[in-house]
Amino acid sequence: MRSIPVVSVVVASWFGLVACGGKSAPPPAGPPVADERVAGEGEDAVKEEGVAPSARPPLAEARPETDTLHGVTVGDPYRWLEGETAEVKAWSDAQDTHARALLDNLPGLAAIAGEVRAYFTAPITRYGGFQVASGKVFAWRKQPDKEQRELVVMASPDKAAEATLVLDPAAGGDTTRYFDWFVPSPDGTKVAVSLSTGGSEAGSLHVLDLAGKVLEPVIADVQYGTGGGDVAWTPDGKGFYYTRYPRPGEKPEQERAFWIEVWSHQLGTPLEKDRYELGKDMPKIAQYRLDVDARGRVLAAVQKGDGGEFQHYLKDAKGWRRLADWDDEIVSMQFGPGGDLWLVSRKGAPRGKVLRMPATGKLAAAKVVVPEGADALVTNFYEKEAAVFTRDRVFLTYQLGGPNTIRAFTHAGKPAKSPVLPAVSSSFLVDDALGGDMFVWSESYVVPGAWYRLAPATGALTKIDAVSPAPPVSLDDYEVHRELATSKDGTEVPVNIIWKKGAPRDGSVPCVVTGYGGYGVNLSPGFAGAAFPLLSRGVCMVIANLRGGGEFGEAWHEAGMLTKKQNVFDDFAAVLDHLHAQQYTSPAKTVIMGGSNGGLLMGAMLTQHPDKMKAVVSQVGIYDMLRVELSPNGLFNTTEFGTVKDQGQFKALYAYSPYHRVVNAERMTFPATLMTTGANDPRVSPWQSRKMVAAMQAAQGGDAPILLRTSQTSGHGQGMAMTERIGQVAHVDAFILWQLGVDVR
């Protein structure tokens, strides 16, 4: 799952809900598909409402298996679908054929696919992931005719048109090849790139010169979708530190997605000479982020799984030493000006405070610079830009319950001139920019994102037009209503409603509602232009900021994790009730959608509140909460969800586990459901969707379709080729409009 999960392939595409940093999941600038027509008609075809005939779904055979956990007998009749046998593949392929046969014949699909394709292949070039090294700016570039992002280098963002291509990962013909992340050397002459294929997130490290030539032997197994990966160059650019997963033979095959270590490599030496640095005594589910300063000191941040517990280590001339332990609640540690270390702590401050500590000292010597405030300080394990420390300023990103803002302070903690940013928006800060300035990305749901140059001394923002192309659609006719829904226990939950100006408030407007609620992830505003095929046909879009996220700090996160996970589902149900009570829409006009942990949310709604919506779209979701920890990434997630080994956590997991709520019921009436998965998903195993669909199809007491669409060339969403993504977005949009009864013309 990771700290920056893909919320949903389509949701991330619609709202830009994926971070823009160099070491993050691909940004929304890449989606799209082709007309993947699949003939699926069979002799026993049935007529769907307004849809061409398609074969009946191949029901899975129930093969009873049971486990006894804490004295409770648990049934699992579709466990056989966890395998990767020929029998399982045949069933999965038949489900996919059935789903695509129906989806390919939905009303107006060709028109919708054309609009989706037009948006993502519009003649504009997008840029992001800026990293500055020795006067050069490295970035990703997404061109409309390319399947994947490219890596480029430029003199400055203002001269993006003169950028030089370093790497087109798909140039060799494999359109599923992409880079997970990249890090330039300090002298700007080389760049380290993690390359993966097919959405696997199984990255190998390539050291390239600026012409794309591979300079060093490729280092395998530096990145996986379980614990991620990282690299940090030495100041002279002659070596680097990197994350290393076990090689074949070092651990049993099923253990090779764990036990990450930190190693170092010197350029020009064989890989056999690489040196072990850190990690042998770490937990099995440890993850790392690395940084090196100009003095050659190394910082290693270590997270235990995905639950937000951290250790921090420093290597200097005396070797490695631990600066902060798990219970110290230091969630971020960075090098700063003057050689000191700058920390973000949650110790006694669940919304976060900033400390400054001499690198030669101990944690007890750290002094508070910016105390905890009324708003939550954003921290992110995989991106340091939420807190940036310059020569004379501290820039901090604060959550405002979904939207965020950037505030500036002096080194003494006094408020300084801050950039003026739009309300109900989100911003992303990049440090180390040219000439002492910084880069800021800012966008809202209805205002397109743009890059700005920030002058630290004055807080002034200047738009960088060369890397801020206007999108192909305008949302000037839409507004954002931000309201509060009251959850079951009285908690107020923010609701963001993208509403057509002047639309009637009589319950007749169709709406798509999404949420996430996990891992302390903030659902911040992103431009909704990619949802224009829906918006332009009168559909309103709603984003809920549920507990389990980080929108109001760690307390908000903790209120929706482990044994309190049910709060997330109660929050989302309350959001739906609010929308219906306020007559924005009605149950018959509501579609809900989510992905990954948000797919679990969809499963909970399907099994707890199936009457609150007309249809459900659930992507790469988690549904069997009792066996998820048996998959590699699932073990990392036990710090967020809990484990069946703990009796109290087992009780909570079993109570809401969507798959088990279905198999424990004889018949249920489900709304129309479209589930999607990727065959190469390293974060949520495809068998989660297979088992849930099998159980739902067997228990379905109504007539609504239950579909499983599987992509053979992608995983959790990262690195999905543009053509494949366009097709998936088009299928989802068409399915939603069909279920909402919207005339597609």
Q: Is residue 419 within 8 Å of residue 425, measured between CB atoms?
A: no
Place of tokens 């482990």: 562
Average pLDDT over residues 281-308: 94
Torsion from C-alpha of 490, 495, 499, 503, nearest 10 degrees: -10
The band of 21, judged by pLDDT with boundaries at 50, 70 and 90, is very low
Question: Average pLDDT, whole number, for the chain?
Answer: 91
CA atoms of 447 and 529, how far apart (whole Å): 9
Burial 622-654 (b: 16+ CB within 10 A, else e): bbbbbbbbebbbbbbbbbbbbbbeeeebbebbb
What per-residue confidence (pLDDT) applies to 713? 87
Q: Is residue 187 within 8 Å of residue 209, measured between CB atoms?
A: no
The band of 339, judged by pLDDT with boundaries at 50, 70 and 90, is confident
Q: Is residue 619 within 8 Å of residue 676, measured between CB atoms?
A: yes
The band of 338, judged by pLDDT with boundaries at 50, 70 and 90, is confident
What per-residue confidence (pLDDT) applies to 22? 36
Average pLDDT over residues 620-624: 96
Average pLDDT over residues 407-420: 94
A 10 A CB-CB count for 87 gives 11
Q: Is residue 183 within 8 Å of residue 174, measured between CB atoms?
A: no
Q: If we measure between CA atoms, which residue out of 511, 467, 492, 490 comes closest to residue 612? A: 511
Q: Are strands 404-409 and 394-399 parallel, antiparallel or unpaired?
A: antiparallel
Q: Would you state the structure tokens that stand for residue 223, as one six-digit string?
A: 């990145």
Q: What is the DSSP letter of 157?
A: G
What per-residue confidence (pLDDT) applies to 7? 57
The band of 28, judged by pLDDT with boundaries at 50, 70 and 90, is very low
The band of 432, judged by pLDDT with boundaries at 50, 70 and 90, is low
pLDDT at 47 over 50: no
Q: In what order do the strands lie in the sheet with 353-357?
A: 330-335, 341-345, 353-357, 367-370
The angle that helices 647-656 and 566-581 make with each other, rounded to 10 degrees, is 30
- Kindly state the helix (H) or strand (E) to which residue 651 belongs, with its residue range: helix 647-656
3-class secondary structure for 317-335?
CCEEEEEECHHHCEEEEEE
Q: Would you state the structure tokens that stand for residue 41, as one six-digit string?
A: 């008609």
pLDDT at 196 over 90: yes
> What percent of the chain clears pLDDT 90, i.e. is strictly above it?
82
The band of 373, judged by pLDDT with boundaries at 50, 70 and 90, is very high
Average pLDDT over residues 98-102: 96
pLDDT at 601 over 70: yes
Residues in the chain, overall count:
745
> What percent of the chain clears pLDDT 70, i.e. is strictly above it?
92
pTM, two decimals, is: 0.92
What per-residue confidence (pLDDT) applies to 17? 52
Average pLDDT over residues 509-536: 96
Average pLDDT over residues 201-214: 97
Q: Is residue 55 within 8 Å of residue 101, measured between CB atoms?
A: yes
Q: Is residue 241 within 8 Å of residue 232, measured between CB atoms?
A: yes
Average pLDDT over residues 179-202: 96
Contacts of 1 (CB under 8 A, 6+ apart): 306, 518, 519, 596, 597, 633, 636, 637, 640, 683, 684
pLDDT at 39 over 90: no
What per-residue confidence (pLDDT) applies to 717? 84
What per-residue confidence (pLDDT) applies to 202? 93
Q: What is the DSSP letter of 228?
A: B
pLDDT at 297 over 60: yes
Contacts of 686 (CB under 8 A, 6+ apart): 92, 677, 678, 679, 710
A 10 A CB-CB count for 391 gives 10
CA atoms of 670 and 367, how far apart (whole Å): 56
Q: If we measure between CA atoms, which residue out of 711, 735, 452, 489 comes closest to residue 592? A: 735
pLDDT at 27 over 80: no
What per-residue confidence (pLDDT) applies to 15? 73
What per-residue confidence (pLDDT) applies to 51? 56
pLDDT at 26 over 50: no
| H runs (alpha helix) in 536-620 | 554-558, 566-581, 597-608
Q: Which of 31-40, 46-55, 120-129, 376-385 has the highest mean pLDDT?
A: 120-129
pLDDT tens for each residue of 102-155:
999 999 999 999 999 999 999 999 999 999 999 999 999 999 999 999 999 999
pLDDT tens for each residue of 385-407:
678 888 888 999 999 999 999 99
CA atoms of 84 and 93, how far apart (whole Å): 12
Q: Can you spell out the DSSP letters for 165-215?
A: EEE-TTTTS-TTEEEEEEEE-TTSSEEEEEEEETT---EEEEEEETT--B-
